[in-house]
Amino acid sequence: MSKTGAEESLTWEELREMGPRERAREFEVYGRLFHVLLAQQFDRALLDELGVQATRIRHIAKSKAGMDFLRSQLSHKTAMLYFTQPSSRTFLSFHSACQMLGMKTVEVRDTATSSEIKGETQEDSIRTFSSFADVVIMRTAVGGLAEKMAWMLSHTERPIPIINAGSGKDQHPTQALLDVYTLQRSFEKRGGIDNKTVLFVGDLARGRTVRSLAQLLTNYRGVRQLFVAPPQLQIGADILELLDAAGVQYELGDDFEAMLPRADAIYMTRIQDEWDQQAGESRQLDLARYNFGVRHLKLMLPHAVLMHPLPRRQEIATEVDGDSRAVYWRQVRNGMWVRAALLARIFNCCGPIREFHGA
Amino acid sequence: MSKTGAEESLTWEELREMGPRERAREFEVYGRLFHVLLAQQFDRALLDELGVQATRIRHIAKSKAGMDFLRSQLSHKTAMLYFTQPSSRTFLSFHSACQMLGMKTVEVRDTATSSEIKGETQEDSIRTFSSFADVVIMRTAVGGLAEKMAWMLSHTERPIPIINAGSGKDQHPTQALLDVYTLQRSFEKRGGIDNKTVLFVGDLARGRTVRSLAQLLTNYRGVRQLFVAPPQLQIGADILELLDAAGVQYELGDDFEAMLPRADAIYMTRIQDEWDQQAGESRQLDLARYNFGVRHLKLMLPHAVLMHPLPRRQEIATEVDGDSRAVYWRQVRNGMWVRAALLARIFNCCGPIREFHGA
Amino acid sequence: MSKTGAEESLTWEELREMGPRERAREFEVYGRLFHVLLAQQFDRALLDELGVQATRIRHIAKSKAGMDFLRSQLSHKTAMLYFTQPSSRTFLSFHSACQMLGMKTVEVRDTATSSEIKGETQEDSIRTFSSFADVVIMRTAVGGLAEKMAWMLSHTERPIPIINAGSGKDQHPTQALLDVYTLQRSFEKRGGIDNKTVLFVGDLARGRTVRSLAQLLTNYRGVRQLFVAPPQLQIGADILELLDAAGVQYELGDDFEAMLPRADAIYMTRIQDEWDQQAGESRQLDLARYNFGVRHLKLMLPHAVLMHPLPRRQEIATEVDGDSRAVYWRQVRNGMWVRAALLARIFNCCGPIREFHGA
């Protein structure tokens, strides 16, 4: 079914050595979404389609008749939530998306209590668990594990899709999806994402979400990207090369208040001090300059939106929450809608949803 | 929607300083139940209505057609069970009540594994979790937290009800509800709760359930309350003041066998030695005098009922379990029925249930 | 309802002293399955019936209409999964079987967090939990606990079935069921299990699954049993007595490669070194002689099947997984089908399933 299941397929070792774009292509399935592993799998057509579908689902979900319809769509399917790295937020979002479409769910959270202590390999363990599910949504601390399991399952009698819900430091493709969907919604009546200016603020070096979103935005025309951070935490050279290659306009800086009035979207981030090389390293930076307080509301464009992937610390003052341009709480629910759209796409029930919405 | 959401609303600090009856009034919603936080929110009309509704649900649930009807009622809703203080019993009861009406459920049990370690405030954390639910059923070790979150959510774009499933030492309103429902059922054919005599036995100083039930019983006419305990563990002066104010007849004593033959309901409780000021303090009391053994069955009125909120230790001998007047196991299931009635009330599906039951 | 609930019933102490076959008879309910506690409860008629039913369910589950039908069958029932001994595999299998038939599920995993710390007995605790369920599926480290609870619940006002999902070292009746079902499927077109040769390999002394399967196979005609193991880990004398009594042909040996070509089914097992009397004891045995490698594929009969209860360590090389005769991954899903059949039998929905399948 998947390319990697074909006879001329690559070994895991060969696949592993390729770049993310090439790997994304390998996991593509002739016009159909199967495994969801890398942000690089999403092109503009797919992003737009998922956004439209997420909005349909959101509208349908407003009524009981609509919810009952949605919950009948995948009532025959079971999702395994394999979350060995804790993440309440992402867990709840996927769990809700599954329930929205009527999927049964089953959870594996702690592998220490399981057969691994009897000497089973992780491959055998996940293959066993996958026996009881129609899709595995996987979050682990191990970079590349979701891809490896996808490759492995593609070579069995019973291949089922794997969705990467965050693996290691690098990939968390559905987080980037929800950010794109939040931008799509925010600019729905203002021509969409094309030609907008997005300002990223905070820990741009280590924030997985910023790195993914910056890349996905290259799918849109004329988007300007502004990066404001302490010099030690600026966006990585690899991302800038990628933007250069895509012909994207960008600017780096460290003066938040100067950049703020130019942005259509402001994307605040948390300092990820859990990745500090030396303990307390981040605390020596003057981070207060990169926080959003009440006084910054006046500097924002009237139609701009203020985003944050959450959890936050002091990057955004709680007094800001009441402003209608603060959309980070809405972002949380957007994750649920777009993940439901993704599941609908994987399991081919987009047609009935479109028809129900149109009726 | 809620009074506290109105423009002239109080700050959390102002609300916090008020007495429970005043706070109960603040959380009232013009004839409609929204947040369920305090036993003081229940008056006789509401208690009677919930009891009737619980009985309807119990009858309907006896058949498959009935269960399928019930499970269609709130099939579009999701309940978040936020239980950071462990309680299998209360958890299972609410979980069953939710499933009874077809609600989807999602659980948060351990916040240590979640974003709180990334420095998020508890308010942000609960607000995030609430994004995925239509009601939050909350049990925490922190007194007042359920109220605080209810107040906070009432001031957001997406207010949803909070049900207090036990917070701190003081409030556990739905436990008192199930005790009232057990009394309603027990005296169904004997004129109801009015004019009955209720005997409380054991640790009356620290038992949250006794304190709540004693208060709720002031809603009924002519109920006599007898309190039997070692002097150190007698019912608090604050409760007695409340009974005085309500004109309730009561008696204190320490002679269990003398009081027993007068009671229509005997409410046994466990010594809560986890609250001992000094370790082992409770063990110095002669507690055996407050235990119910086989020989006490002869002293009970033939129609009386023997209750216990469970878990028990040696307060009631297991040989007593087989007596038809021992209703503590039935009490457990009563909790499920009355909590289902409460959910039906909050989500406005009482009408269909009444009609189905009448048909 | 159950025999043990009748007036002339035995005490728990009397029941406990009887042999498993006598106990199995006690738990029988006049032609109806209620508690499932011991492999000895299954005779050939029941094994055959469950196998046929499991296959019907498996076929029906292939379509959405079929799944929706199945999920309507027990939509009014709730299963409690009481798993205080960790086992992801068995848990997931039962969980899936319950969901397959539309049952709601509720889990108790960790009793340490519950009321037991308040001094409640295990009997009270399980009786409380059972209040919220229609069946308790129980896995514990305590041998005999499932039977004891079944006996206890049979004597209450609200007896519900208990299914033993593994208790202590001895009984795990549904694991044996799935092995029998795998043999039934494997020999479906070759006359069934009768007259086949089954080769058991590995740790036969301590493997609970081997011991149960060897016994259940006495229900079939002309089955030869071969036992290959290091002498220290050979099958127990108690099992051999049982085979003698049933007139079963068997052979013991330690030459795997000599026995292999004669087998219709090869049942590999893991060395259970967690039961070693002295640490490292098993490591002194030459276990490599009892592993299945690629070169053994040539020695297998063309129609034979290779089984393993999983988890495996090095008993079967992963390169063997791709051979069509390796059925251990299919075994995992067989457990789900046959457990669903068992639940259908307990809750009397076999008729509708048979009719739907025939239609």
Q: Does residue B57 form part of some domain?
A: yes
pLDDT value for A134: 97
B238 CB-near residues (< 8 Å, 6+ apart): none
Distance (Å, whole) CA B181 – CA C328? 53
Report in angstroms the alpha-carbon separations of B131 from B136, B225, B298, B346: 10, 44, 55, 18
Instruction: Name the active-site residue from C23, C77, C172, C208.
Output: C172
Is there a single domain that holds both residue A326 and residue A344? no
Return the number of other C-beta atoms located less than 10 Å from residue A45's C-beta.
Answer: 9
Kindly report the CATH number assigned to the domain that includes residue C162.
3.40.50.1370
Check A96 against B78: CB less than 8 A apart.
Answer: yes
Give the number of domains in chain A: 2
Contact B305, B60 (CB under 8 A): no
Check C333 against A131: CB less than 8 A apart.
Answer: yes
**Which residue stretches of chain A have pLDDT < 70?**
1-8, 28-32, 111-117, 275
Catalytic residue list contains B172: yes
Check C111 against B92: CB less than 8 A apart.
Answer: no
> Helices (DSSP H) in chain A: which residue ranges?
12-16, 20-26, 44-60, 64-73, 88-100, 122-130, 145-154, 173-186, 208-216, 237-245, 256-259, 328-346, 350-358
Is there a single domain that holds both residue C15 and residue C109? yes
Q: Does residue C357 form part of some domain?
A: no
Of C118, C131, C132, the CB nearest to B270: C118
Return the number of other C-beta atoms located less than 10 Å from residue B294's C-beta.
Answer: 12
Report in angstroms the alpha-carbon separations of B133 from A71, A301, B47, B233, C136: 16, 32, 26, 41, 28
**Which residue stretches of chain B have pLDDT < 70?**
1-8, 28-32, 111-117, 275
Is there a single domain that holds both residue A205 and residue A320? yes
CA distance B5 to chain A (A): 13
Beta partners for C131? none
CA distance C10 to chain A (A): 38
pLDDT value for A71: 97
Task: Give the tens place of pLDDT for each residue, A214-260.
Answer: 999 999 999 999 999 999 999 999 999 999 999 999 999 999 999 99
Return the number of other C-beta atoms located less than 10 Å from residue A98's C-beta.
Answer: 25
Q: Does residue B359 form part of some domain?
A: no
Is there a single domain that holds both residue A292 and residue A205? yes
Is there a single domain that holds both residue C119 and residue C215? no
A1 CB-near residues (< 8 Å, 6+ apart): A29, A34, A154, A159
Chain B, nearest residue to A61 by Cα? B76
Task: Give the tens place of pLDDT for each residue, C270-327.
Answer: 888 776 777 777 777 778 899 999 999 999 999 999 999 999 999 999 999 999 999 9
* Residues of the domain holding A41: 3-172+334-358
Catalytic residue list contains C77: no
Catalytic residue list contains C185: no
Is there a single domain that holds both residue B280 and residue B160? no
Question: How wide is the angle at C-alpha C118 spanned by C-alphas C117 and C123, nearest 5°?
Answer: 85
Of C76, C129, C131, the CB nearest to B64: C76
CA distance B79 to chain A (A): 11
Check C131 against B99: CB less than 8 A apart.
Answer: no
Q: Does residue C359 form part of some domain?
A: no
pLDDT value for B119: 81
Beta partners for C266? C199, C306
CA B58 to chain centre: 18
Out of B15-24, B157-166, C76-85, C243-252, least confident range:
B15-24
Exposure on the CB side of residue C342, measured as CA atoms within 13 A: 33
Is there a single domain that holds both residue C239 and residue C150? no
**Mutation for testing the A interface, residue in B83, B104, B106, B120 having most A CBs under 10 Å:** B104
A68 CB-near residues (< 8 Å, 6+ apart): B72, B75, B76
C-alpha closest to that of B133 among A328, A71, A96, A105 = A96
CA distance C62 to chain A (A): 9
Average the pLDDT over C331-341 and give the result: 97
Does residue C1 carry a pLDDT above 50?
no
Distance (Å, whole) CA C302 – CA B206? 73
B335 CB-near residues (< 8 Å, 6+ apart): B90, B93, B174, B175, B177, B178
C-alpha closest to that of C322 among A162, A157, A11 = A157
Check B86 against C111: CB less than 8 A apart.
Answer: no
Chain B, nearest residue to A68 by Cα? B76
Of B108, B119, B156, the CB nearest to A311: B119
Exposure on the CB side of residue B357, measured as CA atoms within 13 A: 18
pLDDT value for A74: 97
Distance (Å, whole) CA A27 – CA A36? 8
C-alpha closest to that of B49 among B341, B332, B333 = B341
Is there a single domain that holds both residue A84 and residue A233? no
Q: Does residue C260 form part of some domain?
A: yes
Is there a single domain that holds both residue B271 and residue B326? yes
pLDDT value for C2: 41
Q: Does residue B358 form part of some domain?
A: no
pLDDT value for B220: 97
Instruction: Name the active-site residue from A55, A84, A90, A209.
Output: A90
Q: What pTM does this model have?
A: 0.92
Of residues B228 and C141, the one with the higher pLDDT is: B228
Q: Which two tokens stand for residue C353?
A: 């399933």
A271 CB-near residues (< 8 Å, 6+ apart): A202, A203, A233, A282, A285, A287, A313
Is there a single domain that holds both residue C302 and residue C347? no
Burial class (CB in 10 A: 0-12, 13-18, 19+), B6: exposed
- Residues in chain B closer than 8 A to C124 (CB atoms): 310-312
Catalytic residue list contains A21: no
Return the number of other C-beta atoms located less than 10 Å from residue B45's C-beta.
Answer: 9
Q: Does residue B185 form part of some domain?
A: yes
Check A128 against C95: CB less than 8 A apart.
Answer: no
Phi first, then psi: give them for residue B193, nearest 5 degrees.
-70, -30
Instruction: State the virtual CA torsion across B278, B283, B284, B285 in degrees, nearest 10.
Output: 120
Please state the ipTM of this predicted complex.
0.90
Is there a single domain that holds both residue B318 and residue B343? no
Q: Does residue C276 form part of some domain?
A: yes
pLDDT value for C32: 63
Catalytic residue list contains C158: no
pLDDT value for A14: 84
**Mutation for testing the A interface, residue in C88, C268, C287, C291 having most A CBs under 10 Å:** C88
Of A64, A86, A329, the CB nearest to B114: A86
Is there a single domain that holds both residue B35 and residue B110? yes
